[in-house]
Amino acid sequence: MGGLYRIPLNVSRKIAGDPFSVCHASETLRQQAFTNPLNTLQMKKLINDPLKVADELVEGLVDAYNGECKQVGTRSIVKTDIPEGKVALLVGGGSGHEPIYHGLVGRNLADGAACGDIFAAPPPNIVFEATEEVDKGKGVLYLYGNYAGDVLNFDIGAELADDEDIEVRTVLIWDDVCSAPPTEKDKRRGIAGLVPIVKLAGAASQTAASLDELEALAKKAVLQTRSVGVSMAPGAIPATGKPTFELEEGLIGLGMGIHGEPGVAEIPMTTADELTPKMIDLIFEDYEKDDEVEALKEGDDVLIFVNSLGATTMMELLIALRKAKACLTERGINIYDVMIGPLVTCQEMAGISFSITRMDDELKKYWEMPCQSVCFSKMEGRYGG
């Protein structure tokens, strides 16, 4: 049981990143942490009944939306003013990863979200309740991360919708290139890339003439979006306070999933400038190896998203972005726009991911539309554009 999670997170990452300067302080703090198990950040969660966390966070989310969205049925969030005849976009998944997925409902974004319990897929009745509410006669596109539980429950939700003659299509998000080879995309997980993908599909859904058209755009956005993540320390399960996974002390999980699913390798903790090129290289390799997509090449325009899994700070993200930009520029890739921040999280998990979306004229058009939600807002156009 040598996991880093016993030590306050900010200290553990200092030890890992700069083993010499904080050596003595870390020993003392480590002893304190072991003698007083409450002396960890993640044990101090400001919650009420641990079993009601998901319900209460959705209530708070409705308050945060301040009238823009409402709660529907058991535990869904839906926009209040979806126009008749609009092709609808529904997202969803387990709670506990805020601000996604339910924070991505909003102006020029998703029309609704089916919210599961903490780290659990939403049951079919919740999916169906959300579907019924967002459907305005032109059908509903389900757009969510490729996890077994989500697929099972959304599929049953789609069958319930079919019983009521609501047309549903599904596009799965599988941007995590470390979760399976390009020939087995059906085994890949959806991670941070879902934010740009939902942003693009949400914009397209405003003017999409048909469910076919929106489905095609969403598929293109998924195909052109690839991510690589790294885990440095676990988050804590709200109901139990237990860590979501364990890592050997001093090691980080390259390609590890946001719930601790295995990735490419566990490697010693290193510096931002050592780690970033490794991660960017994995993304390039994937575009190269995948027969369904062209390799990234000189002159391509990309959107880059640097995500924090929760505890990793904006300071660290900025340091990583600086190196990532250098890696891309070196290869002649243009950074078309930048997203940065903790949008796809797993409680106080320490970790970072890079997502690259290759932009063509159609994707740029939808990217440049303004959007607003609790999770992600932008003005018209792009930074520097």
Partner 1 sequence: MGKESLSATETRDMMVAVADKIIEAEPILTDADRALGDGDHGVGMERGMNAVKEALASEEFTSVGKVFMSVGMAMMSSMGGASGAVFGTLFRSGGKAIKDSETFGAAEAATFFKEGTDGVMTRGGAKPGDKTMVDALLPAAEKGAEVADQPVCDALAAIAGAAAAGRDASEDMIATMGRAKTLGEKSLGKPDAGAVSVAIIAKTMADFAAS
The set of catalytic residues is: 97, 259
Tell whether residue 71 is a contact of partner 1 (CB under 8 A).
no
Question: CA dihedral defined by 89, 94, 100, 106, rounded to 10 degrees?
Answer: 40
Alpha-carbon gap, residue 36 to 79, rounded angstroms: 45
Tell whether residue 117 is a contact of partner 1 (CB under 8 A).
yes
Q: In what order do the strands lie in the sheet with 350-358?
A: 265-268, 251-254, 225-233, 350-358, 301-308, 334-341
The nearer residue to partner 1, 117 or 175, going by C-beta atoms, is 117
Total residues contacting partner 1 by CB under 8 A comes to: 20
The nearer residue to partner 1, 5 or 287, going by C-beta atoms, is 5
* 197 Cβ neighbours under 8 A, 6+ residues apart: 143, 173, 175, 218, 221, 222, 225, 357
The nearer residue to partner 1, 139 or 157, going by C-beta atoms, is 157
For 277-293, the DSSP string reads: HHHHHHHHHHHHH-TTS
Which of 40, 153, 205, 308 is the binder for partner 1 (CB under 8 A)? Answer: 153
Identify any residues that bridge with 250 across adjacent strands, giving them in sequence order: none
Tell whether residue 120 is a contact of partner 1 (CB under 8 A).
yes
Tell whether residue 103 is a contact of partner 1 (CB under 8 A).
no
Question: CA dihedral defined by 219, 225, 226, 228, rounded to 10 degrees?
Answer: -120
Alpha-carbon gap, residue 78 to 128, rounded angstroms: 12
Alpha-carbon gap, residue 72 to 258, rounded angstroms: 28
The nearer residue to partner 1, 149 or 250, going by C-beta atoms, is 149
Stretch that binds partner 1, among 13-21, 101-109, 116-124, 209-217 (CB under 8 A): 116-124
Pairing state between β 265-268 and 251-254: antiparallel
Provide the minimum distance between the beta carbon of 119 and partner 1 in the complex, in angstroms, as a whole number: 8
Provide the minimum distance between the beta carbon of 304 and partner 1 in the complex, in angstroms, as a whole number: 29
Stretch that binds partner 1, among 5-13, 23-31, 114-122, 213-221 (CB under 8 A): 114-122
Binding mask 246-285 for partner 1 (x = CB under 8 A): -------------x-xx-----------------------
In eight-state DSSP terms, residue 225 is E
The nearer residue to partner 1, 148 or 209, going by C-beta atoms, is 148
Given the rule CB under 8 A, which residues bind partner 1? 74, 116-117, 119-126, 148-149, 152-153, 155-156, 259, 261-262
